Amino acid sequence: MASNWINLFNGNDLTGWRLRYPEREHKWIVRDGVLINESKGVDLITEKEFGDFDLHLEYMMPTDSNSGIYVRGRYEIQMLDSYGKTYDTPSMNGAIYRVKSPDVEVTKPAREWQTLDITMVGVAMTVRLNGSLIHDAVELKGPTGSNWLWNDNVPRGPHFIQGDHGPVHLRDIRYRER
């Protein structure tokens, strides 16, 4: 049975988060309850680590922007302005980056809020984008993408949001343990 939802972002500041490279300049600000990466800067990492969980967040991509969320610091779900575009590799919005394209295309245009719900149990990932199931219990054999924190498949770790690719707006970031 799942527990109650816990906010990962309080809507006021970066409490509960740290910079991947604290010595580098970052572009993260909070405005009107929204966490915003204004430009290419530094990844933002949760201070908490996660085992099995449900993660909910809402995000909005500016035109032609690119970001992603790495759950447990290893597995990236792409956040990208890819509406109406075609990709030969699993790199469009909602893809398990470089591993699997979404089962259905439900991406919204740039500058519209999108909802992402990710469930991890062991190394199986289930993802809903904008209310539609796009990945169903996909078994991950190892880290995805190339920006991961660790190159292993241990089922625990912090989440991080890419800050080194482009602007992204986020709100209502919360989780519950499973």
pTM: 0.96
Beta-bridged to residue 128, according to DSSP, are 117, 133
The residue range of the domain holding 138 is: 6-177
CATH number of the CATH domain containing 167: 2.60.120.560
Residue 142 lies inside a defined structural domain of this protein: yes
Residue 1 lies inside a defined structural domain of this protein: no
pLDDT, tens digit (0-9, with 9 covering 90-100), for 88-132: 999 999 999 999 999 999 999 999 999 999 999 999 999 999 999
Name the pLDDT band for 169 (thresholds 50, 70, 90): very high
| Interatomic CA distance for residues 77 and 70, integer angstroms | 6
* Number of domains comprising the chain: 1
* Residue 45 to residues 86, 92, 163, 175, Cα–Cα distance (Å): 30, 23, 10, 15
